[in-house]
Amino acid sequence: MPFTKYANLDFDQIKTSIKDYLRSNSDFTDFDFEGSNFSVLIDTLAYNSYITAFNSNMIVNESFLDSATLRENVVSLAGNIGYMPRSRTAATAQVSFDIETNDPTPTLTLKAGIVCTGSTSDTIFTFSIIEDTTANSIPTLDNGGNFVKGTASFNNINISQGIYLTKQFLYDGSLDQRFILNNSFIDTSKLKVYIGKDENTRGIEYTLSKNIFNIDKNSRVFFISEIQDEKYELRFGDGLIGKKLGEDGDGTYITANYIITDGRDGNGASNFSFSGSLANASTPEEIIDPGTVTITTNQISSNGGDIEPVDSVKYFAPKLYSSQYRAVTSRDYEAIIKEIYPNTESVSVVGGEQLDPPQFGTVQISIKPKNGSFVSDFDKTRISSDLKQYTVSGINQKITDLKILYVELDSSVYYNYSQLSSEDTLKTSVLNTLTKYSESLDLNKFGGRLRYSKVQQVIDNTDIAITSNITKIIIRRDLKVALNTLAQYELCYGNRFHVKSQGFNIKSTGFNIVGESSTVYLTDTPNLLTNLPSKEIAKDGFISLIKFDSNNNVVVLKQTGTVDYEKGEIILFPINITGTTSPNNVIEIQAFPESNDVVGLRDLYVSLNIPKSTINMVRDVIASGDEISGTRFVNDFYNSSYSNGNLIRK
């Protein structure tokens, strides 16, 4: 008799199903399976069925992009729809070398490979260059015209964190030959491939191509694919899509130069020591003693990144496939920008018709780079140029600077002192837990959202000694001012402001203006609707400048701007600011949101700022058993759930 139903995958359930099947046969109706040797055979059958079902389930899961878990399977499935996961990215710094040598060689070459070491966080990292760099040596002569020393300057050299390696292959013409780079942690953006006629000649450079657009049979291109253990394989054209190896006299020797890197760990290096090799430009095999080398750091190492994680590959591979390499919808832009600018962490794309005022025919793009807050002007120009080949004619792309909406916490954490050893230790645990939450995907993206209930839950779940917390939410924007310039400013928060009728809802750090010697601050006064039966708060108000004179606030300028409480928008009329109390010419302007769930609207990037949050530890005298009436708690340990009455930002 066959099974009528087979839906059990658990071992015990499979075993029971086998017994039920055997009992359906009249010969085994009253058979005692547990008391006979027959139970061994049943166990064997159950185990075999269980293992087979498990393996089948895993195989099927690994066959689909959504359910695959092994990286090599996810990468392979993404490759089937034309997606190449991002490799590790080497941190890049810019330095200048001033070299004094006793060698009279007129032209010096800084050899490709390791050039210096840099330190960050008590760790030494190696930095390299991927191509030779040449500079003229200026001789210094004595009074007799004899050579004393030569000085060469290698200015604005971009160095990449990692070890420079070279791998050579000889193409034998077979169809199954593979060209595998046997190193993990390669930065593919630094990969250089040359085809030459012998192993000592570098030959002609082939360029990396990520797709087959504008490629014909004469295009000198190569492709790469990620294989097992995060290694990479080189692939070349077949004579139809890309030039075939061995044709037209290019050669059959393949030379690959690349860098293996530590990724994001190499960020932040600023102190460098020379470790490179100098050669005579005329005779490269002649190595020259570098003598005295002075290194000037123009830009510390940054933009290092780790290999693209599996979750990101699963998310962006279908997006890029659906875009078909054309930028029409916001999702198309998101996938393509990630492809052409691998340092992207998050992208916001807003159509011009959604802007205020509308800008038809324009797409506004904001990019949050990894390990940084701003995209350089050079990268903005390059991204805009690369986007042109994907966009619709007549549509202009405008890349704007990142707008960060900071969220701060003002939390009073109540604890049972009988269940902990140290208040400081508990506070540190709360800060660490909140810091970890601040790095979650809920926040660190455009369109992110701070969920108030989750924040409270994170605090409460930190330790069993915590009994409750009263947490207030503050939203902040940093206004970057143009000093000594008459300018108008606008700040959008994207969240409705909470309004108190007496005003002082907007608070700022101090700054100085022309014509006023004292430090001034921003505050607000709501417009009251007096034509209603009872006074109600209007949707807007005006911004004033105040200063403090003998602990009394004095209005310096009654109306210096407007505030829209409904839109969460502040506009400052033209004002000449000469200095700020906060560093980097920044005025911190805060407000209290109407809703404790804060959303990143359009091009606002939500960031939970723990370093500027306030965590107060409060002893819970009721839970600790000090009292049960609550009288002392209300008088001495009571904390308001509403905003404070300070006039300025603390």
**pLDDT tens column, 512-521:** 998 888 888 9
Q: What is the pLDDT of residues 475-497, one digit of tens each?
A: 898 888 888 889 899 888 888 88
On whether the CB atoms of residues 516 and 550 are closer than 8 A, the answer is: no
CATH 3.30.300.200 intervals, the chain:
324-401
pLDDT bin (cut points 50, 70, 90) of residue 638 is: low
Angle at the Cα of 243 (from 239 to 247), degrees rounded to 5?
Answer: 85
Region of poorest pLDDT, from 260-269, 318-327, 376-385, 587-596: 318-327
Angle at the Cα of 622 (from 617 to 628), degrees rounded to 5?
Answer: 160
Q: Which residue has the higher pLDDT, 498 or 635?
A: 498
For 383, phi then psi, to 5°, come to -65, -45
Distance CA 648, CA 523 (A): 8
Report pLDDT for 141: 79
Cα–Cα separations (whole angstroms), residue 569 to 437, 479, 494, 512? 28, 13, 7, 22
Burial state string for 540-555 with b = 16 or more CB within 10 A and e = fewer than 16: bbbbbbbbeeeeeeee
Residue 257 has pLDDT above 90, yes or no: yes
Which element (helix H / strand E) includes 458?
helix 452-460
Provide the CATH number for the domain formed by 324-401 in this structure: 3.30.300.200
Q: What is the pLDDT of residues 434-460, one digit of tens each?
A: 988 887 766 777 777 888 888 889 998
On whether the CB atoms of residues 301 and 114 are closer than 8 A, the answer is: no
Residue 59 has pLDDT above 90, yes or no: no
Only one residue has tokens 């600018």, namely 341
On whether the CB atoms of residues 61 and 67 are closer than 8 A, the answer is: yes
Only one residue has tokens 């911190």, namely 588
**What spatial distance separates the first Cα and last Cα of the chain, rounded to whole Å?**
80
Residue 343 has pLDDT above 50, yes or no: yes
Report pLDDT for 311: 87
- Could you tell me the sign of the dihedral formed by the alpha carbons of 424, 429, 435, 438, in that order? negative
Residue 186 has pLDDT above 90, yes or no: yes
Query: What angle, 0 to 180 degrees and rounded to 10, lies between the N-to-C axes of helices 377-387 and 330-340?
Result: 120
Kindly state the average pLDDT of the residues 135-148. 81
Q: What is the 3-state secondary structure (H, E, C) of 467-513?
A: EEEEEEEEEEEEEECCCCCEEEEEEECCCCECCCCCCCCCEECCEEE
